A = this chain, B = another copy of it.
């Protein structure tokens, strides 16, 4: 019994993410994905039941990644300030390091017709749980997790998108954001 070649599957995933970043969803056909991954179009169907299935599976694999990345940088003994500093800066670092994945996930989740059929993300649940812990410890103010999540991460995302490449402006904005969040979110 011959085994599936996991390297081929990985190549397919990376091809999907690359092509969708470069040309959007309508620019990522099975034929192009297969060519980019160095396999035959039919091979894609050995690893995935359909194109929709493929996109959903890849999305679900990567959607949470950013949150696990961030939580991995957090230390239990950190002060409130360094927690916020770490959350903001590691989110920013993730966007830079995993630009393709980040854009793929963003694009996918902003399309109602695609993300409607996806399971709720585990990573987001974990982050909310983390916020709840901080509230119990008396570090974080009792603010709705949706609000905390948005002013923390969406703002970093906007800074990154707006000041793309402009190191000075980006760093200044991140520092200002951290100061602002320290005053706003911490007890």
Tell me which residues from 152 to 180 in chain A have a Cβ below 8 Å from any Cβ of chain B.
154-155, 157-159, 162-163, 172-173, 176-177, 180
> Across the interface, do B144 and A149 meet the contact criterion of CB distance under 8 Å?
no
> Across the interface, do A111 and B150 meet the contact criterion of CB distance under 8 Å?
no
Q: Convert A99-122 into 0s and 1s, putting 1 for each residue whose CB lies closer than 8 angstroms to a CB of B.
A: 000010011001111100000000
Residues of B within 8 A of A27 (CB): 113
Residues of B within 8 A of A172 (CB): 144
> Across the interface, do B162 and A158 meet the contact criterion of CB distance under 8 Å?
no
Question: A26 in the interface, Cβ–Cβ < 8 Å?
Answer: yes
Question: A143 in the interface, Cβ–Cβ < 8 Å?
Answer: yes
Question: A46 in the interface, Cβ–Cβ < 8 Å?
Answer: no
> Across the interface, do A159 and B146 meet the contact criterion of CB distance under 8 Å?
yes
Tell me which residues from 17 to 32 in chain A have a Cβ below 8 Å from any Cβ of chain B.
21-27
- Kindly identify which residue among B25, B162, B176 contacts A25, using a CB–CB cutoff of 8 Å: B25
Shortest distance from the beta carbon of A162 to any chain B beta carbon, whole Å: 5
Residues of B within 8 A of A107 (CB): 110-112
A residues contacting the other copy or chain, number (CB 8 A): 36
CA distance A14 to B41 in the complex (A): 36
> Across the interface, do B149 and A158 meet the contact criterion of CB distance under 8 Å?
yes
- Kindly identify which residue among B24, B150, B163 contacts A155, using a CB–CB cutoff of 8 Å: B150
Shortest distance from the beta carbon of A100 to any chain B beta carbon, whole Å: 11
CA distance A111 to B149 in the complex (A): 23
- Kindly identify which residue among B110, B150, B176 contacts A110, using a CB–CB cutoff of 8 Å: B110
Residues of B within 8 A of A49 (CB): none
> Across the interface, do B154 and A150 meet the contact criterion of CB distance under 8 Å?
yes
> Across the interface, do B110 and A144 meet the contact criterion of CB distance under 8 Å?
no
